[in-house]
Amino acid sequence: MSKPNLRGVTEEFWSEQKEDFKLYWSLASKAVAGILGFFVVTKTGFGWIDTIVSVFATGVPLLIIASQRALSKYPPLLRRRITRYSLCATLAAVTALGVGFYLAVIYGLITGVVKSLPSLVGSDFSPSLTTVMNAPGALNPDFIQNAIGFLNCFIVLVSLVAAIFNSFRALQIEELIHWAPKRGLFKYLVRRKVKAQDMLMFAGFEFGIIMTSIMFSSTVAIIVHVITMTPAVT
């Protein structure tokens, strides 16, 4: 039976470096993550959301980076917890981003269709509904015309909802936003088959995590902006 791989992705390279390099590099990586997280990430316009996004953009990559530098030195319980928290936080963030992006697209589609309903069915949805609900008992031509318009609007909206669910299944959205990222995260954070052997791989891994977190956080802010129609601030 093979021995489990306990060393972090960057642990071997990090352990070979001098203490002054470790000090300067740690300060530099924290400074870069903090500056990018709080000043570069796109702002949503909501203070509490911006704070959560900025803390996430700074904290999660620093947790992953620090843990991968000395993973085998931690007690087994702490090591499992760090790996589990890093995996769950990253996977939840990626899945939430995918769901948010999909919902933003659907929101834009539904909004466009609703605005186009008068031209699609020849009658405005709201007046049709009002006329049908308040119509007298006698079936007059205006009532029938508006009832048909309301029915057409209803059919269009139901068809749109059905198309959304069918597209979700046909495009295998859950595979793209959950299962595929999960396999990739397991490869790097759990199995740790890839190791940083030189400075290029080491720097690429750590700053790649930071930049990925920044891009993710900015994308979340843009999605919030699209859904709430508030101006996004960079």
Residue 225 burial (CB count, 10 A): 19
Q: Is residue 2 part of a domain?
A: no
3-class secondary structure, 65: helix
- Tell me the whole-structure pTM to 2 decimals: 0.66
Domain assignment present for 89: yes
Task: Tell me what pLDDT residue 13 has.
Answer: 93
Res 31: pLDDT: 92
Please report the pLDDT score of residue 80 as a whole number: 84
Range of the domain at 36: 11-228
pLDDT tens, N- to C-terminus, the chain (234 residues): 444 567 888 999 999 999 999 999 999 999 999 898 888 877 777 778 788 888 888 888 888 899 889 888 888 888 888 888 888 877 877 777 777 777 777 777 777 766 766 655 554 444 544 554 455 554 555 666 666 667 777 777 787 778 777 777 777 777 777 777 777 777 777 777 778 889 999 999 899 888 888 887 877 777 777 666 555 555
- Burial class for 51, CB neighbours closer than 10 Å (0-12, 13-18, 19+): exposed
Examine residue 211 and state whether it is found in any structural domain, yes or no: yes
Q: How many domains, in total, are found in the chain?
A: 1
